[in-house]
Amino acid sequence: MKDKCNREIKHIRFSITSKCNLKCMYCDREGFTPKTSELTVDEITKLCKVLAEILNVTRIKFTGGEPLCREEIVQIIKNVSNLLLYKDISMTTNGLLLYEKAEELYKAGLNRINVSLASLKPKEYNKVYGSDSLDKVLKGLQKAKEVGFDPIKLNFVLMKGINDTEMEDLIDFCRKNGFILQLIELHEVSDAVGGNGEFYKKHHLDVKPIIEDLESKAEKIIVRGSMQNRKVFILPNSMIVETITPSHEFCMGCTKLRVGCDGNLFGCLYRSDLGKNIKEALHNHHSIAKYEQIVKQVVDSREPYY
C-alpha cells in the first residue's frame, strides 16, 4: 500500500507500552501520548496479523516506552512469531532488563535488537538516562550476544556538550564486540508530547562533518532505500556505522506505519493527531476489507513532513 507521496509501507513500528524504567533526556515517547488503555496481548496479536495481511509487510519492530517493562513481552513475541507472517521481528530497548530476558526473547522468536546507549562513561550515562545502570546494560548486551542475537545495534544519539567526544570510543566498542553503531542526529521532540525547543537548541549537533569523515574512511557505502534512505558505512575491519539524520530525503524515504500502545495507527512521528484508533474495531470481527479501509485512511494521511 502506497501513500500520496508514492511511499510504500514496508514495515511496522509497534509500541506495546508507554511504561518505562528510565528517564531519557531526549525521549520522544514515540511521538504520541496514549489516550486509552494498552492493547491486550490478544489485541496486539490480531492487529499484527491484520496489518501483515493488508500491507503485505514482513518486518515489525516493537518499542515502548520500554518494551521489556511489558509483563507479557515474551508471550507477545512468541504469538507474533507463531503467525509465521513476519520474517524480521526486532525490538528497541534501553537494555536495563536485557540480561534477565534475552534468552527467553530469543527462544520466543525475536530476531534482533537495538539498544539505546548514549555513553560508555558512567557519569554521562547517568546524566542522559537518569540511572546509574550502565554496567547492567553492558552485561545485558553481552548476554544478548551469547544467546545468539545478530545483529545487535547500538542507538547512539549524539548530543553537544554531553557525549560529542565519544564517537570513536563507541566505534571501537562496537568493533570489538561485533555490534553495529547507529549514529542518530538529535531531532526536535514531537509537539504531541510537548516539544522542548530549548533542549534541541542547546544540544543539537550537525552530524554532516562526521558523515563526511565516515565517507572518507569507508570501504563501502550503502544507501538503504527501503529504510528512509539511511547511509550505511562499512569501515575497515568490517565495522558498520549506520546514520539516521532527519531531513527531506529521510522523510521521502520513510516506509513506516506506527502503532501506539493504545491502538492508534499513525504515519509520522510528528503527526499522531492524524492517526485513527483501531482498538474498538478489533472486537467487531470486521472483514479484512473493513480493516483495510481504516489502514488506508491512515496511510493516505501521510504527508512529506520535512
Give the CATH number, domain containing residue 284: 3.20.20.70
Q: Which of 92-96, 183-187, 302-306 is modeled with the greatest confidence?
A: 92-96
Domain membership of residue 1 (yes or no) is no
Mean residue pLDDT of the chain comes to: 91
Answer whether residue 138 shows pLDDT above 90: yes
Domain membership of residue 264 (yes or no) is yes
CA distance 229 to 243: 10
Task: Please give the residue range of the domain that contains residue 250.
Answer: 11-300
Mean pLDDT of 61-67: 96
Number of domains comprising the chain: 1
CA distance 241 to 165: 16
Given a contact cutoff of 8 angstroms between Cβ atoms, the answer to whether 133 and 161 are in contact is: no
Residues 6+ apart with CB under 8 A from 271: 31, 192, 301, 303, 305
- For residue 306, what pLDDT band results from cuts at 50, 70 and 90? low
Domain membership of residue 271 (yes or no) is yes
Domain membership of residue 305 (yes or no) is no
Given a contact cutoff of 8 angstroms between Cβ atoms, the answer to whether 241 and 183 are in contact is: yes
Domain membership of residue 116 (yes or no) is yes
Residues 6+ apart with CB under 8 A from 42: none
Q: Which amino acid is at 161?
A: G
What pLDDT is recorded for position 227? 57
- For residue 32, what pLDDT band results from cuts at 50, 70 and 90? confident
What pLDDT is recorded for position 56? 95
Q: What percent of the chain has pLDDT over 90?
A: 72
User: 95-124, pLDDT tens digit by residue?
Assistant: 999 999 999 999 999 999 999 999 999 999
What pLDDT is recorded for position 115? 98
Angstrom CA distances, 105 to 15, 16, 36, 73, 137, stand at 17, 15, 27, 8, 16
What pLDDT is recorded for position 191? 56
What pLDDT is recorded for position 193? 52
Mean pLDDT of 296-305: 87
Answer whether residue 190 shows pLDDT above 60: no
DSSP 8-state class, residue 252: H
Q: Which amino acid is at 171?
A: I
Domain membership of residue 5 (yes or no) is no
Given a contact cutoff of 8 angstroms between Cβ atoms, the answer to whether 57 and 10 are in contact is: yes
Domain membership of residue 117 (yes or no) is yes
What pLDDT is recorded for position 187? 84
User: 261-286, pLDDT tens digit by residue?
Assistant: 999 999 988 888 888 999 989 888 77
- For residue 59, what pLDDT band results from cuts at 50, 70 and 90? very high
Domain membership of residue 134 (yes or no) is yes
**Terminal-to-terminal C-alpha distance of the chain:** 22
